[in-house]
Amino acid sequence: MTRARRSDNALTRLVRRPGAVVALVFLALLTFAVIFADVVAPIDPLTQDLARARELPSAAHWLGTDGFGRDIYSRLIHGGGSTLGGALLAAVVAMTIGIPLGMLGGYFRGWVDTVVSRFADVFQALPTIVILMAVIGAFGNNNTVAMVALGVAMCEGFIRLARAMTLQVRRELYVDAASVAGITSGSILVRHVFPNIRGPLLVQLSITAGAALLIQAGLGFLGLGTPPPAPSWGGMIDEASDLIYLHPWLLVPTGAIMILSILSFNVLGDALASDRPGGVLAGVRLPWMKPLPVAEQPVAMSELVPADPKAVVSVRDLTVSFTDRNSTFAVVQNVSFDVMPGEALGIVGESGCGKSVTAKALLGLIAPGGKITGGQVTINGTDVVGLSNRELRKVRGTTIALVSQEPMVALDPTFTIGAQLRESIAHHTGRKGRELNDRALELLRLVGMPDPAQAAASYTFQVSGGMAQRAAIALALTGEPDVLVADEPTTALDVTVQAEILDLLRSLRKDLGLAVIIVTHDLGVIADLCDRAVVMYAGQVIEQGAVDTLLTTPTHPYTRALLASMPSHAIPGLPLDAIPGAVPAPRDWPEGCRFAPRCAFATDACRSAPVPILAQHGGLSRCIRVDEVLAQSRNRTEERNIA
Amino acid sequence: MTIEPLLQVDHLQMRFKNPKNRRNTVHAVDDVSFTVAPGEIVGVVGESGSGKSTIGRCILGLETPSDGDIHFDGSDLGAHSKLRNRRDLASRLQVVFQDPYSSLNPFRTIGQTLAEPLQALSRVSDAQADARVRDMLEAVGLPREAADRYPSQFSGGQRQRIGIARALIMEPKLVICDEAVSALDLSTQAQILNLLSKLAADRGLAYIFIAHDLDVVRYISDRTLVLYRGRVMEQGASADVYSRPLHPYTAALHAAAPVTDPVEQRARRTARAKIVRPAPEIGPTTGHAGCPFAARCAFAQEVCTTDRPADTPVGERSVACHMYNATSGHTRQGAGMSGVELAVT
Ligand SMILES: Nc1ncnc2c1ncn2[C@@H]1O[C@H](COP(=O)(O)OP(=O)(O)OP(=O)(O)O)[C@@H](O)[C@H]1O
Ligand code: SF4
Ligand code: SF4
Ligand SMILES: [Mg+2]
């Protein structure tokens, strides 16, 4: 059997969280003190000294004395056993009954589930305090019995949670894979389901322990559970509340220790719940690791793209950086391009190359933790970098609009498509009444809805993915923008539907003069829709040019390799021209040419210094060996022509 | 004499009840028949919701079919199967899933995940299992130390390699690859396709290769099944299906997949307009009679909406379209739709 590396077990992961460490230390100290109460608090908790009643803390009585002159510190420590132990007992009983039942119900469903759910219903219907009173009535006032009963009464929460979580996890593919592999249901439950529902159950455990602590204290307050004069936290709160005006201090130590205990349970539960093995991802650095040197600023690209006053979008040296606990690192660097009115520009590359960050930055949309750290983005003459959110909102929608991969995210499932369009039209254009509706129908017709009236009356969940994307495009058009940014608008769609959406974007360009910036990983989509393309790799533009030449005679080895790795270009039976390795994460970008580790043309010169992007062969290319690349392509074509 | 097929699927049916409307059932798989020979790679293409995954899940026993027969390597797995315990199948029939993220248990090391079926099904010692796990990891192009790490420490492409290792460690005869490369980037996809091809050739594996990308299926599979709304529209040798589509839906799929040559792409766009009606579909057709593609087909006639097209043999292929059936009453005779040009007389 293989074993996890030593440094990666639940405990070592836990101690990386400062909050959890404090909670753990607190609970450990408390447990220690309670177990060795006689040593830690040698004063007898029952000894009264009426002469020294209601004293504030002193050297003799660290936390003062109560109404009978008993030492509060000692009573807290000695009373902790029954209180904490009782609360834990109740929580453990609830867990032991609830988790297996809930998991069985959720996993096997059918009649097992029905029985389990009815069982849970019974305990939900009966008030906890009634159950407790009945049990105390039957078995006498005994803390252990009361706490076991409390546990049974509280098992309902565990049943429901375990059941709901199991229902969810059993749909995971690894559960399917295990059952295909012939693993028994029991093993699947223990090995695959339980570890994945453990987190929320631990939170439930801490909540239950906290609640049990309160109920236990409540019982003490009622004079039940632990019979006085034996100390218990609940009993002490009861006594303190009697003296609240005479000696308010009395409430402080007991209240504080209860609050701290409950808090510690919750913090610990939270930390355990979010625990994941292998959390130390490649590329994620811990504080004590040496930070990576951020790759040197590459040569500015802006000079290569001459300013054109006609451009509707003009991006110059756009740099976007993210900050985490340890450092700030760029994910997009010195990106420059222009888009003319009515033009379609494609941004293409593999995942993680910075396409979406670039596209969203055009609208001033940057995820939390990120920031535009350099460059300008000029939309219709206005530089939007550094605009406030209010100013940005004016630009968004009316000048530049966004369509995303998931139309369902842009659309609200609780309103009809028509209602959302009308609201947005009213917001952008100030139209009212009938005009609103007419415009909404006009837009739906424009995006090719076969029956605009019916579409307007539909909710998003009633239409297919392609229709939803049309509706999302209609919504983006409500503010009559000049530029539409479409981030993978067809990736979630089937090819036949994708073709229709691309047709739609083409007709919008023609009919409205709309400029389109489309982000995609599919070079075919670029060929279909775009005039020009920007190819990105590891946060940089590596090639830029007219689509007709870029896709037929690429100058950059990455563009060339991407084209070659497409299965449509492959001959069955022969291996595909795969690019070795993978796109590096931003922190692992190499010093020199970022593509060098994967490039078939790489030489030492490529690795020694950042490679600038240069105007060459009719386009822009970030490669020092363009001539060799083109020569090899020519040879290949000749070979193929001869063969 | 023909070779005994490894897998034979006959008239497979899978109906799901619509939870919101009891009377409305979804025909996820509607009378699907095909075979897989030992060592053969059969591709299944179709758009999302066409029933591709459901066919795979029925074969794997993750769903119980509503009707139909499935025979795999001497075992009956169909709707009326008496087989209670599929454990002994596990070593012969395996799966690689699409989602490299949800298909690995985040709480178990790669070694634990891979060793689990080995230890459950064959009595091997810990040391033997560990050695086989590490050998398998090497075979899929990962370092042997990968066994000690957790899924979160791997990229999507690496996880897919792990998924392949898990499927192959039991030395199965048939592996169902359900969109096994669809979630991957182009360069990673090429790496995984090469790996799958190599493993199939080295080990004599058969695959059912489920994908929505016609190019991927053409590249990897010997034969292709084209699925639309739970029905097989066309099946035959991949090279033929791709170079000379017979069924209008296959031709539409082909013409809709964009190519990277801008000039050729413009030609495809023109061709597509001739096969698919320009008006987009209005919604899922619920009717069971007729051809499922009729709402979008440029060649649809009266008979297409009333009669279900029979699977008609055309050469080595089988096509479910009235145009290929002389007695159907359709006035056109299909003669294949080669690439971008339509040859309908
Ligand atoms: N458990 C289920 N309950 C109800 N309907 C289902 C269930 N599973 C699948 N379906 C329906 O069956 C049809 C076929 O589904 P299936 O998952 O096989 O499609 P697919 O071709 O694999 O699609 P994708 O490419 O999106 O994975 C769909 O209409 C789907 O909604
Ligand atoms: S600069 Fe060198 S390593 Fe980079 S792409 Fe060009 S040839 Fe390859
Ligand atoms: S049967 Fe009719 S509708 Fe269906 S594909 Fe053939 S011609 Fe088109
Ligand atoms: Mg599927």
- List, for residues B270-317, the tens digit of each pLDDT value: 888 888 876 555 444 445 788 999 888 888 888 998 899 999 999 899
CA–CA dist A6, A3 (Å, integer) = 8
> How many C-beta atoms surround the C-beta of residue A416 within 10 A?
17
State the total domains in chain A.
2
pLDDT tens per residue across span B120-137: 877 788 999 999 999 999
pLDDT at B83: 59
Q: Report the residue of chain B nearest A582, measured CA to CA.
A: B188
Query: What pLDDT does B338 receive?
Result: 45
- Contact list, A523 vs chain B (CB under 8 Å): 260
d(CA A198, CA B231): 42
Cβ atoms of B116 and A184 closer than 8 Å: no
Same domain, A618 and A503: yes
pLDDT value, residue A291: 38
Q: Find, among A382, A355, A298, A235, the residue nearest to A614 by Cα.
A: A298
Do A1 and B93 make contact, defined as CB atoms within 8 angstroms? no
Report helix, strand and coil shares of chain B as percent, to nearest 5: 35, 20, 45
Q: Are B181 and B192 contacting, i.e. CB atoms less than 8 angstroms apart? A: yes
Q: How far apart are CA B317 and CA B203, in angstroms?
A: 28
Looking at the fold, whether A363 and A256 belong to one and the same domain comes out as no
Location of structure tokens 């006609």: A310
B212–A495 C-beta distance less than 8 A: yes
Beta strands in chain B (DSSP E): 7-17, 25-36, 41-45, 67-72, 75-76, 93-96, 174-178, 206-211, 223-228, 231-237, 312-314, 317-319
Beta-bridge partner residues of A204: none
Residue A630 in any domain: the answer is yes
pLDDT digits (tens, 9 = 90+) for A584-612: 888 889 989 999 999 999 999 999 999 99
Q: Of A273, A289, A316, which residue constitutes the final position of a domain? A: A273
Q: How far is the CA of A348 from the centre of ligand 1 (A)?
A: 31
pLDDT digits (tens, 9 = 90+) for A98-126: 999 999 999 988 889 999 999 999 888 88
Q: Are B150 and A277 in contact (CB under 8 A)?
A: yes
Average model confidence (pLDDT) across chain A: 85
What pLDDT digit, counting tens, does each position of B148-157 carry? Answer: 998 888 878 8
Please check whether residue A621 lies inside any domain of the structure. Answer: yes
Say how many Å lie between the CA of residue A315 and the centre of ligand 3: 49
Is A120 near chain B, with CB under 8 Å? no
Position A625 pLDDT exceeds 70? yes
Q: β-strand B67-72 against B7-17: which pairing, if any?
A: antiparallel
Q: Does the beta-carbon distance from A180 to B60 stay under 8 Å? A: yes
CA-CA distance, A173 to A543, in Å (whole number)?
Answer: 39
What atom in ligand 2 is closest to the CA of residue A600? 8
The pLDDT, as a whole number, for residue B86 is 67
- Could you tell me the pLDDT band of residue A460, with boundaries at 50, 70 and 90? confident
**A278, A548, A562: residue with CB nearest B152:** A278
What pLDDT does residue A212 have? 85
Q: What is the pTM of this model?
A: 0.80
Give the CATH number for residue A170. Answer: 1.10.3720.10
A107 and A38 inside one domain: yes
* Distance separating alpha carbons of residues A616 and A392, to the nearest angstrom: 36
Query: Would the pLDDT of A444 be above 80?
Result: yes
Q: Is the same domain home to A22 and A156?
A: yes
Work out the minimum CA distance from A276 to partner chain B, whole angstroms. Answer: 7
**Ligand 3 pocket, residue B6 CB under 6 Å:** no
Angle in degrees, CA A509, A372, A315, rounded to 5: 35
| Among the bound ligands, the one closest to the CA of B47 | 1
**Is residue A139 over pLDDT 70?**
yes
Which sequence spans correspond to the domains of chain B? 7-232, 245-344
As to burial, measured by CB atoms within 10 angstroms (0-12 exposed, 13-18 middle, 19+ buried), residue A320 is buried
What pLDDT sits at residue B85?
60
DSSP state of A56: P
Q: What's the CA dihedral at A599, A605, A607, A608 to 10 degrees?
A: -170
- Flag whether A31 is in a domain: yes
The CATH number of whichever domain residue A351 belongs to comes to 3.40.50.300
- Partner-chain contact B259 A279, CB within 8 Å: no
Measured between beta carbons, which residues in chain B are less than 8 angstroms from residue A182?
86-91, 117, 120-121
Burial category of B80 from C-beta neighbours within 10 Å (exposed 0-12, middle 13-18, buried 19 and up): exposed
Find the closest chain A residue to B220 by CA distance: A572
Q: Are A334 and A375 in contact (CB under 8 A)?
A: yes
* Ramachandran class of B200: left when φ > 0, alpha when ψ lies in -120 to 50, beta otherwise: alpha
Helices A72-108, A143-153: inter-axial angle, 10-degree rounding: 30
Is the separation of the CB atoms in A206 and A197 below 8 Å?
Answer: no
**Domain final position from A253, A273, A293:** A273
Mean pLDDT across A220-237:
76
Distance B273 CA to ligand 3 centre (A): 16
For β-strands A313-323 and A328-339, DSSP reports them as: antiparallel
Alpha carbon distance B42, B235 (integer Å): 10
Mark whether A226 and A328 lie in a shared domain: no
Of A422, A440, A425, A526, the closest CA to residue A481 belongs to A425
Task: Name the residue at shortest CA distance from atom 11 of ligand 1.
Answer: B28
In the block, tokens 């409205």 appear at A512
For residue A453, is it within any domain? Answer: no
Say if residue A362 is exposed, middle or buried (CB neighbours under 10 Å; 0-12, 13-18, 19+).
Answer: buried
Residue A94: which domain range?
A: 15-45+60-273
Scanning B35-97, the segments in alpha helix (DSSP H) are 52-60
Closest-CA residue to B91 (of A400, A58, A601, A180): A180
| Continuous H helices in A227-312 | 233-242, 251-273
| A347 sits in which H/E element | strand A344-348
Name the CATH code of domain B7-232 (choices 3.30.1490.190, 1.20.120.530, 3.30.465.10, 3.40.50.300): 3.40.50.300
Cα separation values, A433 from A425, A427, A429, B173, Å: 11, 13, 12, 67
Q: Judge if A39 and A163 occupy the same domain.
A: yes
d(CA B247, CA B139): 40
What digits encode the pLDDT tens for the residues A167-206?
988 888 888 888 888 788 888 999 889 988 888 888 888 8
Q: What single letter denotes the amino acid at residue A631?
A: A
Do A306 and A170 share a structural domain?
A: no
**DSSP label at residue B276:** B
Q: With CB atoms and an 8 Å threshold, state whether A521 touches B87.
A: no
- Report which protein residue has its CA nearest ligand 1's atom 28: B49
Largest Cα span, chain B: 69
In this predicted structure, the answer to whether residue A439 has a pLDDT above a threshold of 70 is yes
- Dihedral pair phi/psi, residue A73, rounded to 5°: -55, -50
Residue B224: strand pairing partners: B43, B236
Question: How many whole angstroms from A503 Cα to the centroid of ligand 1?
Answer: 27
Q: Is the dihedral of CA A83, A86, A90, A95 positive or negative?
A: positive
Q: Quote the CA–CA distance of A78 and A261 in Å, as a whole number.
A: 15
Tokens of A88: 């834990």
Where does a domain end: A227, A254, A273? A273
Tokens read off for A98 = 């609830």
CA distance A20 to A35: 22
Asked if B303 and B322 touch (Cβ cutoff 8 Å), the reply is yes
The 3-class secondary structure across B100-124, one letter per residue, is CCCCCCCCCCHHHHHHHHHHHHCCC
- Tell me the mean pLDDT in the region A300-319: 82
Q: Where are the beta strands (DSSP E) in A458-572?
A: 483-487, 515-520, 532-537, 540-546
Complex confidence, ipTM: 0.85
pLDDT confidence band for A393 (50 / 70 / 90): confident
Q: Determine contact, residues B182/B212, Cβ cutoff 8 Å.
A: yes
Determine whether the interchain pair A565/B189 forms a contact, defined as Cβ–Cβ distance below 8 Å: yes
Least Cα distance to B157 among B133, B132, B180 occurs for: B180
